[in-house]
């Protein structure tokens, strides 16, 4: 797991030593329009897919201005400290640091979450898991490997009578989820605890959710640099077949689910059948594979039989 921490004030970080650091020979005297174009060119050369979007976001962050204001300041020639803080952020992005780490936040399911290098960057495909979970009522939810807390907290914010527990093996991740709970005003209904999967979990739940690590250790070289070099490996990799976390989850889930309670997990696109088989051998029923917006298998859902004794 990477130990890199996101600075509270990323603008102050000097990344001049990064390979591929952004350098404009004489930036002083250029206006913001020119600086933005130069910065976008640097990011394009570093292989970043939508460089203009990123440089605009970096500029709003460096200057703490709303995005609408970017166009208005284009003709202005900024003072040197502002140029420096902007170029510092551009250099970090050129070194492929994820935008969420530089900005310290990421939008997920209509809310803004604090993100650091200690948690998985919330991804749009995980919103599908939240949608599936909202398809049926629940009162008490458990999120295994909660990371930033984005799944648990989105669910609790959508269902005002529900309470939840988020567990993670990483104390640094739990700090982030607790901060997010307070930021969203959900501190009363969400609690957090350090746990290796079910190790310290008690009580019963009518919904258990998880976006566990599921990438195989052999796939590491296929990942984008942003993921491979900056995101916590603990949250990404799950052994040679990518199924280690599902085995641990399926071992504990039946004992913590109320009769009729649901288990919903995110999966990698090729893991649907293998994960369904694990659900079935754990005695869960009604196993279904759901697709993400790109049409790839992305979640598996099943439940404890409603007829089970409570
Ligand atoms: N979906 C993530 C990725 O492909 C992986 C997240 C996970 O392992 N849970 O980068």
Which residue puts its alpha carbon closest to atom 9 of ligand 1?
A: 213
Residue 123 near ligand 1, beta carbon < 6 Å: yes
Residue 236 near ligand 1, beta carbon < 6 Å: yes
Kindly report the length of the chain.
Answer: 310
Dist. CA 236–CA 226, nearest whole Å: 13
Looking at the CA of residue 120, tell me the nearest atom of ligand 1.
6
Please tell me what DSSP assigns to residue 8: S
Residue 265 near ligand 1, beta carbon < 6 Å: no
Residue 213 near ligand 1, beta carbon < 6 Å: yes
Dist. CA 127–CA 194, nearest whole Å: 24
Least-confidence region, from 10-24, 72-86, 290-304: 10-24
Rounded mean pLDDT, 100-110: 97
- The stretches of the chain forming alpha helices (DSSP H) are 32-45, 51-63, 69-73, 80-94, 99-103, 127-134, 150-158, 171-183, 225-230, 244-256, 272-281
Phi, psi of 178 (to 5 degrees): -65, -40
Contact (Cβ atoms closer than 8 angstroms) between residue 166 and residue 148:
no
Looking at the CA of residue 266, tell me the nearest atom of ligand 1.
9
Rounded mean pLDDT, 155-176: 98
236-282 per-position pLDDT tens digit: 999 999 999 999 999 999 999 999 999 999 999 999 999 999 999 99
Domain(s) of CATH 3.40.50.150: residues in the chain: 114-303
Rounded to two decimals, the pTM is 0.90
Band of residue 28 on the pLDDT scale cut at 50, 70, 90: confident
CATH class of the domain defined by 114-303: alpha beta
């Amino acid at each position: 797991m990477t130990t890199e921490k996101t600075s509270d004030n990323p603008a102050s970080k000097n990344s001049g030593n990064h390979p591929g650091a952004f350098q404009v020979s004489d930036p002083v005297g250029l206006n913001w329009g020119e600086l933005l174009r130069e910065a976008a060119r640097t990011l394009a050369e570093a292989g970043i897919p939508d460089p203009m979007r990123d440089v605009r976001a970096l500029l709003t962050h460096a200057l703490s201005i709303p995005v609408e204001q970017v166009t208005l300041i284009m003709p202005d020639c900024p003072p040197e400290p502002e140029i420096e803080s902007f170029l510092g952020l551009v250099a970090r992005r050129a070194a492929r640091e994820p935008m969420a780490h530089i900005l310290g936040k990421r939008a997920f399911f209509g809310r803004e979450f604090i993100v650091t290098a200690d948690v998985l960057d919330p991804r749009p495909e995980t919103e599908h898991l939240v949608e599936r979970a909202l398809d049926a009522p629940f009162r008490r939810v458990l999120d295994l490997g909660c990371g930033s807390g984005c799944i648990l907290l989105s669910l609790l914010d959508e269902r005002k009578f529900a309470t939840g527990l988020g567990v993670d093996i990483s104390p640094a991740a739990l700090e982030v989820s607790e901060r997010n709970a307070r930021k969203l005003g959900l501190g009363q209904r969400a609690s957090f605890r350090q746990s290796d999967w079910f190790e310290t979990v008690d009580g019963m739940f009518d919904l258990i959710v998880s976006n566990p690590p599921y990438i195989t250790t052999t796939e590491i070289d296929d990942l984008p640099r942003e993921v491979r070099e900056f995101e916590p490996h603990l949250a990404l990799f799950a052994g040679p077949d990518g199924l280690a976390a599902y085995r641990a989850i399926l071992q504990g889930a039946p004992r913590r689910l109320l009769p009729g309670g649901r288990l919903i997990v995110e999966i990698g696109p090729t893991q649907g059948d293998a994960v369904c088989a694990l659900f079935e051998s754990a005695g869960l029923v009604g196993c279904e594979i759901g697709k993400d917006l790109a049409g790839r298998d992305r979640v598996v859902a099943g439940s404890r039989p409603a007829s089970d004794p409570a």
